Chain A
């Protein structure tokens, strides 16, 4: 292979005359990835929890709504969902709303659309995890709660959900890791997160291997931090004897 390694290119100032180095571009990209991952994950937890609970409620309407949500957002490829949120949704809204959205600064548009697309997609998967966690509990738990005089809401809050969430911490860790890597899809609509910056770097420096090795390291570091964070959460919420560990 006739490749000339040049790690020093990362410390060179960028060719456009802006006051950054290429490493600075990568750092900006990393910040964008971290911000996008965290915001989208919060949205996914909220939306996914609501949908997951809805799918286990006695109400037929709630279950149908939850099922529709999961069927739609789990089955459409993520990149298509990004495109639809970014290009199609502003066209479907009334003209004033659409124009206002399109008039926003591009970075705002990219970031908000990415958070929405990524959060709603991952929410559909979190919904299924939570539903599995709740349904794994013996039926007697819900009945015992209701028999004690708790309302359905109180049963969920004090009896079912605490155990269900502790049960699904491992799959949720996986989802958190997956969302950090799916954030790379945001570069297809133009957000310059870590993968997008890597491609910019390749364009400007023509040194693809250095760029992509740095990006890989960035993702490895981010994933490692996520695993440690979830491990910390699991230890803090651990109830001795509850889940048989």
Chain B
């Protein structure tokens, strides 16, 4: 047999080589996309169940609508994350369970596996970051006071000897207690169970001021009969950022959520969601919070990051 390659066979050999190379490349890409899932994503893929934590009374971030379904700015974000998880785990039939959480049990429930992640109003700070991992930040707030219109209290220095209400377990709780101890302000501090109860304590006159994240103050105010009667005042005692929480070391889920959030923020989709909840009428009363985006938030959206505080 003639061992020299005829001209036609050489073309065929080249074509065969290219085909082989293409096949190898396709296989390599396919293999890379099939990189093994770890942590929560693996569990979700195997079991087909995803459990998400939400707050039931943090207007406008995460709260119940009239049909007892969770809605809000953070919930919209969580739903987009869930869509992405569906995609990445390939489980279109994903069973999503929503579990209500409070500021006191959110970390414990995440650590013990009851919930897989939560996007609500959790401040990203260093002491919490020892227990859990935070994703990219999605909101920026300042902790301020809310008082009745006409109240002599204008700033934190006016709180000497007054009764102040805060949410138990929140960053404001720690800040106001530290302020009271440092400056000997002789305040009576009431720690209420959640945001609605804090506001109830304020509105019944038991407390003269309420300290909380300014966006949540605006949300509580919007629920009342006459929102103009409540004034948000005081220099922010801290600037904080909200991030979603995932379990410590859950790197794949964190990376997925970081990417989702960063894309939403830089593409302008997050700004649309912001306008939907902060600059337009929202349930339950169709009131407009009228809370324009702060400069710190615009900066965050331009450069998404997961740094604690601003």
List chain A positions with a Cβ less than 8 A from chain B: 1-3, 15-18, 87, 90-91, 99, 102, 105-107, 109, 188, 190, 192, 199-200, 202-204, 206, 208
Given contacts A16-B177, A16-B180, A17-B178, 11 further A-B pairs with CB under 8 A are A1-B112, A2-B111, A2-B248, A15-B178, A99-B205, A109-B206, A188-B193, A200-B168, A202-B108, A206-B131, A208-B108
**Shortest Cβ-Cβ A-B pairs, 7 listed:** A16-B177, A203-B169, A17-B181, A18-B181, A106-B188, A16-B178, A102-B206
Q: What per-residue 1/0 map shows which CB atoms of B219-249 lie under 8 Å from chain A? A: 0000000000000000000000000000010
Do the beta carbons of A190 and B174 come within 8 Å of each other? Answer: no
Is B9 an interface residue, CB under 8 A from the partner? no
List chain A residues, Cβ under 8 A from B177: 16-18
Do the beta carbons of B169 and A199 come within 8 Å of each other? Answer: yes
List chain B residues, Cβ under 8 A from A105: 188
Q: How far does the alpha carbon of A2 sit from the alpha carbon of B39 in the complex, in Å? A: 14
Q: What per-residue 1/0 map shows which CB atoms of B103-144 lie under 8 Å from chain A? A: 110011001100000000000000110110000000000000
Q: How far does the alpha carbon of A90 sit from the alpha carbon of B169 in the complex, in Å? A: 27
Instruction: Decide if the interface of chain B is mainly helix, strand, loop or mixed.
Output: mixed
Instruction: Decide if the interface of chain A is mainly helix, strand, loop or mixed.
Output: helix
Min CB–CB distance B180 → chain A (angstroms): 8
Q: How far does the alpha carbon of A113 sit from the alpha carbon of B270 in the complex, in Å? A: 46
List chain B positions with a Cβ less than 8 A from chain A: 103-104, 107-108, 111-112, 127-128, 130-131, 163, 168-169, 173-174, 177-178, 180-182, 188, 190-193, 200, 204-206, 248
Q: How far does the alpha carbon of A34 sit from the alpha carbon of B173 in the complex, in Å? A: 26
List chain B residues, Cβ under 8 A from A2: 111, 248
List chain A residues, Cβ under 8 A from B191: 190, 192, 200
Do the beta carbons of A16 and B181 come within 8 Å of each other? Answer: yes
Given contacts A200-B168, A203-B168, contact A106 B190 (CB under 8 A): yes
Do the beta carbons of A206 and B200 come within 8 Å of each other? Answer: no
Given contacts A15-B174, A106-B188, A190-B191, contact A91 B108 (CB under 8 A): no
List chain A residues, Cβ under 8 A from B130: 206
Do the beta carbons of B107 and A106 come within 8 Å of each other? Answer: no
List chain B residues, Cβ under 8 A from A90: 204
Show 23 A/B contacts (Cβ-Cβ < 8 Å), sorted by A: A1-B112, A2-B248, A15-B178, A16-B180, A17-B177, A17-B178, A17-B181, A87-B200, A91-B204, A99-B205, A102-B205, A102-B206, A106-B163, A109-B206, A190-B190, A190-B191, A190-B192, A199-B168, A199-B169, A202-B104, A203-B103, A204-B174, A206-B131
Do the beta carbons of A199 and B104 come within 8 Å of each other? Answer: yes
Q: How far does the alpha carbon of A190 sit from the alpha carbon of B205 in the complex, in Å? A: 16
Q: How far does the alpha carbon of A91 sit from the alpha carbon of B200 in the complex, in Å? A: 12
Min CB–CB distance B115 → chain A (angstroms): 15
List chain B residues, Cβ under 8 A from A87: 200, 204
Q: Which residue of B lies closest to A19 (CB)?
A: B181
Q: How far does the alpha carbon of A185 sit from the alpha carbon of B193 in the complex, in Å? A: 12
Q: How far does the alpha carbon of A2 sit from the alpha carbon of B247 in the complex, in Å? A: 11
Do the beta carbons of A102 and B204 come within 8 Å of each other? Answer: yes
List chain B residues, Cβ under 8 A from A1: 112
